[in-house]
């Protein structure tokens, strides 16, 4: 009973602030189009396929599940300048919370133009735009209310007395971002960017309330990598995000061990960790092989919820595949991975 009530407390406290926090990933670096639309098209290859899966709070009750699938690629490569990139992409995202009581789906289209700032294209600045169609649905039969709890616990035969006027809502949501990416020396890189989501702050309410508007979300982020001993590489990244009263500050890095001597697509094993301030330690392992990069993290909860979670938080898996016909692509070292 205490376990169920704890879950209800978490669920309703989060959903009272639905307008205050979007679905997000601990591996934010592996979900570029949910972090900043200006990342669209910035990779070394012909096209990029990416996917993310996150399951959170399984240790307490029914987990919150979030997943994405995306594709992006460059266009007009023989028309625009050699130093520029024009990327377009599509992304679908699914989010389920409260045991399926709230289901959200997102379909996004993004474009970004990366303008070369020097004759070699080693430094670029990009502006990205994204439009998202959003649909959210509440299943009233999966909700449990306080007045349905009697001396024996939850009793579904007791009417909840609650009515949702709009159990399904839909709206269009525009987003924007800016990104700088540059090469330092011969083989180190750095990037930094900012993004602004929910520009129009669309109305979002399951009740008959038109004043409930979705709060904007903005992010500041950056990262880079550098070679170690001419073979291995060290990577680092940082993220600050704010939406209404909710904030997130995450930083960390990974060390890449080159496992073979293949110059065009070496096999690299990654190990590292990120830390989300006052919330979770996030150990990371990953593998890059033949165009695929897979990453696995597990949030080790260190927040005030740890007595209930027993330090357990969220399992997250990311997968990126980059197809490239030209192993000598000039953006091979320049493009960020974390």
CB 193 within 8 A of CB 236: no
DSSP string covering 32-48, please? Answer: HHHH-GGGTT-SSSSEE
Q: If you compute the radius of gyration of the chain from its CA atoms, what whole number of angstroms results?
A: 22
Report the alpha-carbon distance of residue 317 to residue 286 in Å, rounded.
10
Q: What per-residue confidence (pLDDT) applies to 31?
A: 95
- Nearest of 300, 246, 244 to residue 276 by alpha carbon: 300
- Nearest of 128, 70, 126, 177 to residue 334 by alpha carbon: 126
Q: What per-residue confidence (pLDDT) applies to 298?
A: 94
**Distance between alpha carbon 334 and the CA centroid of its chain, in Å?**
22
Report the alpha-carbon distance of residue 234 to residue 246 in Å, rounded.
31
Tokens of 49: 């396929």
The shares of helix, strand and coil residues in the chain, as percent rounded to the nearest 5, are 10, 50, 35
Kindly indicate whether the domain formed by 37-323 is annotated with CATH number 2.40.160.40.
Answer: yes
CB 275 within 8 A of CB 282: yes
Domain regions of the chain by residue span: 37-323
Which spans in the chain are helix H? 2-15, 32-35, 306-309
Per-residue CA distances from 289 to 35, 69, 236, 328 (Å): 24, 20, 20, 17
Q: Is 210 helix (H, G, I), strand (E, B) or coil?
A: coil
Q: What per-residue confidence (pLDDT) applies to 4?
A: 39
CB 321 within 8 A of CB 292: yes
What angle (nearest 5°) sits at the alpha carbon of residue 296, between those of residues 126 and 20? 60
Q: Is 66 helix (H, G, I), strand (E, B) or coil?
A: strand
Report the alpha-carbon distance of residue 315 to residue 275 in Å, rounded.
15
Tokens of 133: 């169609």
Q: What per-residue confidence (pLDDT) applies to 148?
A: 65
Interacting residues of 75 by C-beta distance below 8 A, sequence separation 6+:
86, 87, 88
Interacting residues of 185 by C-beta distance below 8 A, sequence separation 6+:
none
pLDDT tens by residue, the chain, 338 residues: 334 333 433 344 334 333 446 888 999 999 999 999 999 999 989 999 999 999 976 555 667 899 999 999 999 999 999 899 999 999 999 999 866 688 999 999 999 999 999 998 899 999 999 999 999 998 777 666 667 676 766 666 666 666 667 788 899 999 999 999 999 988 899 999 999 999 999 988 777 766 788 899 999 999 999 999 878 999 999 999 999 999 999 999 999 999 987 667 889 999 999 999 999 999 999 999 999 999 999 999 887 665 555 556 789 999 999 998 865 555 556 788 89
Tokens of 205: 């309410």
Residue for token pair 């070679």: 227
Report the alpha-carbon distance of residue 207 to residue 185 in Å, rounded.
57
């Amino acid at each position: 009973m205490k376990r169920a009530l704890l879950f209800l407390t978490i669920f309703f406290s989060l959903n009272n602030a639905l307008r205050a926090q979007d679905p997000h990933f601990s591996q934010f670096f592996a979900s570029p189009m949910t972090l900043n639309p200006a990342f669209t098209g910035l990779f070394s290859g012909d096209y990029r396929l990416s996917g993310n899966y996150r399951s959170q709070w399984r240790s307490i009750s029914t987990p919150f599940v979030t997943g994405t699938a995306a594709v992006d690629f460059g266009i007009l490569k023989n028309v625009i300048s050699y130093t520029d990139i024009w990327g377009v992409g599509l992304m679908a995202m699914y989010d389920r919370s409260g045991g399926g009581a709230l289901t959200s789906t997102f379909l996004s289209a993004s474009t970004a133009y990366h303008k070369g700032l020097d004759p070699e294209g080693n430094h670029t600045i990009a502006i990205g735009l994204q439009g998202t169609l959003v649909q959210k649905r509440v299943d009233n039969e999966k909700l449990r209310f306080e007045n349905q709890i009697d001396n024996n616990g939850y009793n579904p035969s007791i009417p909840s007395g609650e009515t949702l006027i709009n159990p399904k809502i839909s709206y269009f949501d525009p987003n924007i971002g800016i990104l700088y990416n540059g090469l330092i020396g011969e083989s180190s890189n750095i990037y930094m960017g900012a993004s602004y989501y929910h520009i129009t702050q669309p109305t979002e309410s399951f009740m008959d309330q038109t004043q409930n508007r979705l709060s904007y979300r903005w992010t500041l982020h950056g990262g880079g990598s550098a070679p170690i001993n001419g073979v291995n590489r060290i990577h680092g990244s940082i993220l600050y995000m704010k939406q209404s009263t909710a904030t997130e500050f995450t930083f960390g890095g990974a060390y890449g061990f080159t496992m073979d001597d293949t110059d065009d697509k070496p096999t690299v094993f990654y190990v590292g960790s990120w830390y989300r301030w006052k919330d979770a330690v996030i150990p990371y392992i990953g593998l890059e092989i033949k165009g695929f990069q897979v990453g696995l993290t597990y949030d080790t909860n260190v927040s005030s919820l740890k007595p209930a979670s027993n330090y357990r938080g969220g399992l997250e898996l990311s997968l990126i595949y980059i197809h490239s016909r030209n192993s000598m692509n000039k953006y091979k070292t320049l493009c960020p991975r974390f």
